[in-house]
């Protein structure tokens, strides 16, 4: 076996740690530490990792807006609340009526974040220098896919460094008001508003999710049992 072959075989990723990161990066709201400042360098380091994400046609049109100015944060928080408070309160009431405890926790936590939004030390707004207006479905998916993947990488990088975040979108109901406030030019699309802070404690659990076997289709929609062929591809007989 030559040297190249040997280094190819060697695992270079600590799978247990990678899996821990992927399974415990949660939407953090009530455990954001609003009192602890977030360093500029840490945000930039996480963005350096984020921009390793793929983009359609390798166009790399991600743009990042970071807001730390207290006055601007408060104005943006007000826009977030104007757009989202009714939705969040109604959602909470619905979950109470349904007795759905996991949804109730999410809604209660979302309301808490909305009420305290300006207290997050930094907001990060992932943007893409493209306009969705007039685009076909396929083109829009390409545009959004070229920033959302980087956004999630950013959140993973934060988590690995003891910070937490939540992907929020409620302000997008009036994205223009935020754009005007921050001087974001026309033609630049905001896709989220991510409040960032260190977390209180660093231990988070995986979320309860449906078994993937129930939501995965093999070869045909409704195909439940994929049996792998000799080279790892689902075998033709693996439909049910």
Ligand X SMILES: Cc1cc2nc3c(=O)[nH]c(=O)nc-3n(C[C@H](O)[C@H](O)[C@H](O)COP(=O)(O)O)c2cc1C
- Residues found near ligand X in the complex (CB under 6 A): 26-27, 106, 110, 113, 166-170, 207
Q: How far is the CB of 118 from ligand X (least distance, A)?
A: 15
Q: How far is the CB of 9 from ligand X (least distance, A)?
A: 35
**In the complex with ligand X, which residue's Cβ is closer, 125 or 170?**
170
**In the complex with ligand X, which residue's Cβ is closer, 22 or 207?**
207
Q: 21: which 2 tokens?
A: 């990161």
**In the complex with ligand X, which residue's Cβ is closer, 60 or 169?**
169
Which whole-number Å values give the CA distances from 129 to 94, 133, 151, in the listed order?
38, 12, 15
In angstroms, the CA 118 to CA 123 distance is 9
Q: How far is the CB of 27 from ligand X (least distance, A)?
A: 4
Rounded (10°) CA dihedral 114, 80, 209, 228: -150
Question: How close are the terminal C-alpha atoms of the chain, in Å?
Answer: 41
Residue 164 near residue 31 (C-beta atoms within 8 A)? yes
**In the complex with ligand X, which residue's Cβ is closer, 14 or 19?**
19
Q: How far is the CB of 3 from ligand X (least distance, A)?
A: 43
Residue 154 near residue 49 (C-beta atoms within 8 A)? yes
Which residue in 50, 66, 59, 53 sits closest to 143, CA to CA?
59
**In the complex with ligand X, which residue's Cβ is closer, 110 or 122?**
110
Q: How far is the CB of 121 from ligand X (least distance, A)?
A: 17
User: How many C-beta neighbours within 10 Å does residue 48 have?
Assistant: 11
Task: Classify 109 as helix, strand or coil.
Answer: helix
Q: How far is the CB of 127 from ligand X (least distance, A)?
A: 15
**In the complex with ligand X, which residue's Cβ is closer, 5 or 203?**
203
């Amino acid at each position: 076996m030559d040297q190249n072959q040997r280094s190819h075989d060697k695992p270079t990723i600590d799978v247990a740690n990678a899996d821990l990161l992927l399974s415990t990066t949660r939407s953090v709201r009530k455990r954001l530490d609003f009192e602890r400042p977030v360093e500029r360098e840490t945000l930039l380091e996480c963005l350096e990792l984020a921009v390793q994400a793929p983009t359609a046609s390798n166009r790399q049109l991600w743009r990042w807006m970071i807001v730390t100015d207290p006055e601007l944060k408060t104005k943006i928080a007000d826009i977030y609340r104007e757009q989202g408070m009714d939705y969040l309160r109604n959602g909470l009431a619905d979950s109470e009526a349904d007795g759905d405890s996991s949804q109730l926790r999410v809604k209660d936590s979302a309301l808490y974040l909305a009420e305290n939004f300006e207290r997050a030390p930094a907001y990060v707004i992932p943007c893409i220098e493209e306009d969705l207006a007039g685009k076909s479905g396929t083109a829009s998916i390409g545009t959004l896919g070229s920033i959302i993947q980087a956004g999630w990488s950013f959140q993973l990088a934060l988590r690995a460094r003891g910070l937490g975040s939540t992907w929020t979108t409620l302000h997008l109901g009036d994205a223009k008001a935020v754009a005007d406030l921050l001087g974001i030019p026309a033609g630049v699309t905001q896709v989220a508003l991510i409040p960032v802070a260190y977390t209180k404690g660093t231990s988070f659990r995986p979320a309860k999710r449906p078994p993937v076997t129930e939501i995965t289709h093999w070869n045909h929609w409704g195909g439940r049992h994929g049996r792998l062929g000799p080279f790892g591809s689902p075998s033709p007989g693996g439909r049910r």
